[in-house]
Amino acid sequence: MAKRADRTFRPGRARALLAVAALVAALGGCHTARSFKERVDQAAGKLTGSNFDDPEADAKLKRAEELFQNKDYAPAQDQFRALADNKGNSAALAERARFMQAECRYMRKQLPEAADTYHKVLLDFPTGAYRRDACARIFDICDYWLDDFRDELKARQDEKGVLRWKPGLPNPLDRTRPTWGQEERTLESLQRVHVHDVTGPTADKALFWCGYINFVRGNFNEADQFFSQLDSMHPDSPLRPQAMAFAILAKNNATGGAAYDGRKCAEALQLVHVAEASVPELANNPEMAEKLTRAKFAIRSQQAEKDYLMADYYERTGHPGSAVFYYELVRRRYAGTKYADQATERQTRLVKLMQEGRPDPGVDPLAVVRAKFDEVWGKRPAATKEPAGGVVPAGGPVPDSARGARP
């Protein structure tokens, strides 16, 4: 028993247990106001030398700025990065150092890395002194990347409809552009400009280009979102009239056809009325007024097709009363369209069949059984199925006025 007691309570084991307990208490943060993350950052900073009180921080910043003025961007960038990474420095000094690090990358034509560094400035100091300058630089970089998009539009100006992206060969030696996904990086950076500086001078431009790129690529839901944001959040922007025109086209094309949800069509028609009443740049411009008229006609045509297909559905499923109601709706709401003429013909034929007591049972099983029962027992003659002409398929072509619009 004595041997077991000695083996259990050896001094070395006791000291180890005390050390473990002290470590657990330190990590647990008992009776201290500092968080666990702050303690980990401090410990890591002491090990790496990136978290300490530097009494020469101001002098180092001044020397780095002198290197920047002398166009020695590479050594200046390293010194700015070291100052920004040191969490022991003041927030104002760290923000200045991080922004100047991004400036060094920008001057060295390392634009993707510069855009990421500017974004880090916005993330670490969202209300800092260099927020607007960082957003302006990011927009300049995106505008440079957009030159390829504009060149593509000029080269493909004879093509109509949606212009799908054609990937080219990457050039890893070109440090001014992303090696992969340049268009995606451009859209991402433009959204950052608007998010971090909503009231800035480039916020409306960033939204417009996000919407226009998605519109050209056929992403009409995303385009509608960006153009609608520009319309609602930047009413004084000079790009608002064009944004409203593209938003109308994007809403109309985002429905997918008359067989789908028609709320986007209703929103587009309402936006047309708002544009005609409150945007003189669109109403007084003959070319834009003609585009609005064509867009309005395309919207009404799609709405008429939707109601017409609903009437056709009720007729095919053996509900003649509902079919007559929807045909009458098409005739009254959309007078002057081809669907109104077709609805008049179908309604006249269906009402005549109902008056004769032999409406087409359609494909409703119960209606078919009932019609066959009445036919066998002689209550009414057999219905003669007539072809339903003039039905426009749900996936018909989109009018030219709603495609391929260019600013």
User: DSSP string spanning 47-86?
Assistant: HHT-SS--TTHHHHHHHHHHHHHTT-HHHHHHHHHHHHH-
Of the residues 82, 112, 138, the one at which a domain ends: 138
Q: Which residues contact 233 (CB under 8 A, 6 or more apart)?
A: 198, 207
pLDDT given at position 395: 33
CA 176 to chain centre: 25
Tell me how many domains the chain contains: 2
Sequence-separated (6 or more) residues with CB below 8 Å from residue 172: 179
Q: What is the 3-state secondary structure (H, E, C) of 75-144?
A: HHHHHHHHHHHCCCCCHHHHHHHHHHHHHHHHHCCCHHHHHHHHHHHHHHCCCCCCHHHHHHHHHHHHHH
Evaluate whether 191 touches 206 at the Cβ level (below 8 Å).
yes
Which letter does DSSP use for residue 337 in this model?
A: S
130, 267: one domain: no
What pLDDT sits at residue 1? 41
Question: Is 346 within the bounds of a domain?
Answer: yes
Nearest to 222 by CA among 169, 184, 257, 260: 184
Q: Are both 405 and 268 inside the same structural domain?
A: yes
Unique residue bearing structure tokens 């034509």: 109
Q: Do residues 142 and 150 make contact, with C-beta atoms less than 8 angstroms apart?
A: no
Determine whether 301 is exposed, middle or buried from the number of CB atoms within 10 Å of its CB (0-12, 13-18, 19+): buried
Q: What angle do CA 326, 328, 330 make, to 5 degrees?
A: 70
Domain assignment present for residue 17? The answer is no
Q: Is residue 400 part of a domain?
A: yes
Task: For residue 193, give every residue at least 6 positions away whose Cβ sits within 8 Å of its Cβ, in sequence order, or none.
Answer: 135, 138, 139, 142, 200, 202, 203, 206
CATH of the domain at 79: 1.25.40.10
pTM of this prediction exceeds 0.85:
no
Domain end residue (candidates: 138, 172, 205): 138
CA–CA distance, 291 with 405 (Å, rounded to integer): 10
Q: Are residues 267 and 127 both part of a single domain?
A: no
Instruction: Report residue 277 as tokens.
Output: 């009443």
pLDDT at res. 276 = 82
- Residue 287: its pLDDT value, please? 83
380 by DSSP, 3-state: which? coil
Q: Is residue 52 part of a domain?
A: no
Residues of the chain with pLDDT under 50: 1-9, 24-25, 28-34, 380-407
pLDDT score for 253: 85
pLDDT at 10: 55
Separation CA 248–CA 265 (nearest Å): 9
Q: At what angle do helices 111-124 and 182-196 cross, to 10 degrees?
A: 30
The answer as to whether 275 is a domain residue is yes
User: Is position 183 within any domain?
Assistant: no
Residue 241 lies in a domain: no
- Residues 267, 407 within the same domain: yes
Establish if 309 belongs to a structural domain: yes
Q: Which domain holds residue 355?
A: 263-407
pLDDT single digits (tens) 127-142: 999 999 999 999 999 9
- pLDDT given at position 20: 53
Is the Cα dihedral 106, 111, 114, 115 positive or negative? positive
Per-residue pLDDT tens digits for 36-89? 555 555 555 555 555 667 788 899 999 999 999 999 999 999 999 999 999 889
- What is the DSSP code string of 202-257? THHHHHHHHHHHHHHTT-HHHHHHHHHHHHHH-TT-TTHHHHHHHHHHHHHHHT-S
* Residue 284, helix vs strand vs coil: coil
Q: Which of 91, 122, 138 is the last residue of a domain?
A: 138
Q: Do 247 and 231 meet the contact criterion of CB atoms below 8 Å apart?
A: yes
pLDDT at residue number 271: 87
3-state helix, strand, coil in the chain (%, to 5): 70, 0, 30
Check whether residue 267 and residue 134 sit in a common domain: no
Segments in 156-202 forming alpha helices (H): 182-196
Neighbours of 164 (CB within 10 A): 9
- DSSP code of 399? P
